[in-house]
Amino acid sequence: MQHFSELNLCSALRDNLAKNEFVTPTPVQAEAIPPLMEGRDVVVTAQTGTGKTLAFAIPIIEALAAVPRSKSIKVLILSPTRELAIQIDEAFRQLVHGMRIKTAVVVGGMSESNQLRDVEAGAEVVIATPGRLCDYLDRRLINLSGASTVVLDEADRMLDMGFLPDLRMILDKVPSKRRTMLFSATMAQSVAGLAATYVKDPVWIAVESSPESAPQIDLYCYEVPRGSKFDLLEYLLRNEAGSFLVFVATKEGADRLEKFLEREHHKVAAIHGDRSQSQRNKALQGFKDGLYRVLVATDVAARGIHVDDIAHVVNYDLPQEPENFVHRVGRTGRAGARGASWTFVTPVERNDVRSYERALGVKVEFRELPPLPRPIGLVADVDAFLASMNANLPKNPTPPTPPAGPAPAGSFSGRRRRRR
């Protein structure tokens, strides 16, 4: 398939594709859409930013347009994050403009009444995060008995131990005879085996599954003392052009880094799980619009940010898993633009980066640390200091021996003196 015009689509969908300038399919769209149009199950791995949403949206919309409208939910799309769910909904709304197909978003942190109103108004497509959907199912506020199509976006995340109990509960509520689509940027072997239990005779499609291997993303790494990370980030902000998406390990760390950057007069916002959805939407939209040059985020944003012109991704803290490295880095180098990834590691974390290289099949270029101010305090490298202290401790310390004989005058022995 060279052009979307080759597909046998209804006139409204064809017009909406043309109106939004979708003319030539990406490789993943060219491979996934034909079997999906035939009603097949698929398991797709393709790098972030290659157009996976459109790959499943076009066949779904065409199938809905071909059957009589009803007010029951026919399609369920599951996403690990609110931001990704909202962006999937936006993509659908572009393609169903002027059609009778309605969508609803079911996620935490947003108005429950508005979501239920959209569902009850006849949404045929529901895009949901597992936690909020399970809550609605527990309270019998939503009915999935007519959902004959299920999509797991970021399927590797949906199939890990954190989401798996909710996922099993949800899939018990949808028909066993259904079409299932799994889409992700990565698919570890262990997850791939689990994925196979949820699909029937699927078409397996793999297109450039590792975003770091794409030539438009430069992977750099600095070995830096923990106390100098902020100064290194300041150095990059002064010397590199464009926007920065900075990933940290914790919500507290995101708040703290945001305050530090604000004190240095940077235009910055933060996004993490403790922020309300309105705060997260405002931060993300401000980042897209250029109001903020820096967005500080936890991994909640690794799979939910789709901005075409992010120039730099900074791993201020290492991710816990190699797969999260893939998703973080995939936020840059999108839509044909060149991007850069900068990873900060302390001396004791150097081997972790080498492990990521082997696991992901990529090469990270270690760069010489630029001149930076001396960290505040007497110890420049906390990790090295603690290591040296541990090395100097005796192997089997002997506890001090208490003095023999009666307790000295003025001290307390084990017995309390009797009151007279």
**Average pLDDT score over residue span 82-111:** 92
Give the integer Cα–Cα distance in Å for 86 and 72: 21
**Average pLDDT score over residue span 146-163:** 85
Element (H, E) at 150: strand 149-153
Domains with residue ranges and CATH for the chain: 4-209 (3.40.50.300), 212-380 (3.40.50.300)
Q: How confident is the model at residue 276 (pLDDT cuts 50, 70, 90)?
A: confident
Residues 6+ apart with CB under 8 A from 267: 291, 292, 293, 294
Identify the pLDDT of residue 392. 58
Helices (H), 139-294: 155-158, 164-171, 189-195, 229-239, 251-263, 277-289
User: Do 154 and 130 contact (CB within 8 A), yes or no?
Assistant: no
Statement: residue 254 has pLDDT above 50: yes
Considering Cα of 157, then 192, then 133, then 282, what sign does the dihedral take?
Answer: positive
Average pLDDT of every residue of the chain: 84
Cα dihedral 103/105/110/114 (nearest 10): 30
Identify the pLDDT of residue 159. 80
Which amino acid is located at 384 in the chain?
A: A
Interval 173-197: pLDDT, tens = 999 999 999 998 777 665 777 788 8
Q: How confident is the model at residue 377 (pLDDT cuts 50, 70, 90)?
A: very low
Which residues are registered as beta bridge partners of 269? 295
Greater confidence (301 vs 396) lies with 301
